[in-house]
């Protein structure tokens, strides 16, 4: 697969991942993660490859996310869906936290992140972010400079699981967080939209602190 970060909500999910797919979200605290190669524990604090992630953010990312222009795929996503679930998850959640971060929605001109609706290959997977860099895409790019990225919303999986509006927004907020180099939160005892699992949260103080830790105040 070409994915790097995806969001799953099944409580009994078990994933066997390749080098191109290491980051996923599941409600089950006993979820089993298996990677074929060097990247076991990649997004766990103090994991096997700490050079790829510092704290709870990726070492790689866009050169500067101010502005980080993003758009949507009008073929797969209606404007109503865009306005209801996607726009509230981008600027409304991540802007105003760091002076170095400003997500800007555009319908023309250049952009670096594109949002699409796609069909999930797995009913437990509800979202995904895929970065692109000079060396390729996915895990290859985690410690590199990103040239572009894609946020996928798997509406078929969200609908089948009965996601409400707040949960859909939370799902997209999580994936947009990855586009800002945010990794999955592993610290215990804190609320965070970047934690793995089905949630109905916006960005929390812990998410904001991580964003500032990556990009500055």
Q: How far is CA 105 from the centre of its chain?
A: 17
Angle at 65 between CA 21 and CA 85, to 5 degrees: 70
Q: What is the 3-state secondary structure (H, E, C) of 148-214?
A: EEEEEECHHHHHHCCCCHHHHHHHHHHHHHHHCCECCCCCCCCCCCCCCCCCCCCCCHHHHHHHHHH
pLDDT recorded at residue 6:
53
Q: Which fold has domain 5-215?
A: Collagenase (Catalytic Domain) (3.40.390)
Query: Which stretches of the chain drop beneath a pLDDT of 50?
Result: 1-4, 10-54
* CB of 154 closer than 8 Å to CB of 164: no
Q: Which residues of 127-149 are buried (b: 16+ CB within 10 A; e: fewer)?
A: bbbbbbbeeebbbbbbbbebebb
pLDDT recorded at residue 140:
87
Q: Which residues contact 54 (CB under 8 A, 6 or more apart)?
A: none
Residues in the chain: 217
Q: What are phi and psi of 216, to 5 degrees?
A: 105, 170
pLDDT recorded at residue 147:
97
65: left (phi over 0), alpha (psi -120 to 50) or beta: alpha
- Distance from C-alpha of 153 to C-alpha of 165, rounded to nearest angstrom: 13
pLDDT recorded at residue 196:
86
Q: Which residues contact 205 (CB under 8 A, 6 or more apart)?
A: none
- Distance from C-alpha of 170 to C-alpha of 108, rounded to nearest angstrom: 26
């Amino acid at each position: 697969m070409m994915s790097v970060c995806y969001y799953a909500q099944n409580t009994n999910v078990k994933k066997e991942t390749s080098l191109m797919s290491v980051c996923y979200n599941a409600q089950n605290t006993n979820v089993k993660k298996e990677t074929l190669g060097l990247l076991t524990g990649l997004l766990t604090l103090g994991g096997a490859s700490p050079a790829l992630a510092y704290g709870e953010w990726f070492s790689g990312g866009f050169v500067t996310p101010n502005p980080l222009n993003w758009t949507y795929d009008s073929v797969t996503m209606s404007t109503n869906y865009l306005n209801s679930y996607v726009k509230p998850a981008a600027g409304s959640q991540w802007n105003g936290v760091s002076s170095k971060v400003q997500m800007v929605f555009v319908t023309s001109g250049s952009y670096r992140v594109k949002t699409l609706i796609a069909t999930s290959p797995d009913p437990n997977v509800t979202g995904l972010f895929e970065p692109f860099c000079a060396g390729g895409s996915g895990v290859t790019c985690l410690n590199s400079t990103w040239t572009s990225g894609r946020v996928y919303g798997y509406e078929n999986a969200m609908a089948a699981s009965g996601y409400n509006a707040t949960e859909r927004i939370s799902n997209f907020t999580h994936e947009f967080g990855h586009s800002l180099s945010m990794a999955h939160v592993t610290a215990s005892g804190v609320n965070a939209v970047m934690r793995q699992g089905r949630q109905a949260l916006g960005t929390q103080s812990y998410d904001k602190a991580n964003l500032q830790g990556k990009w500055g105040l």
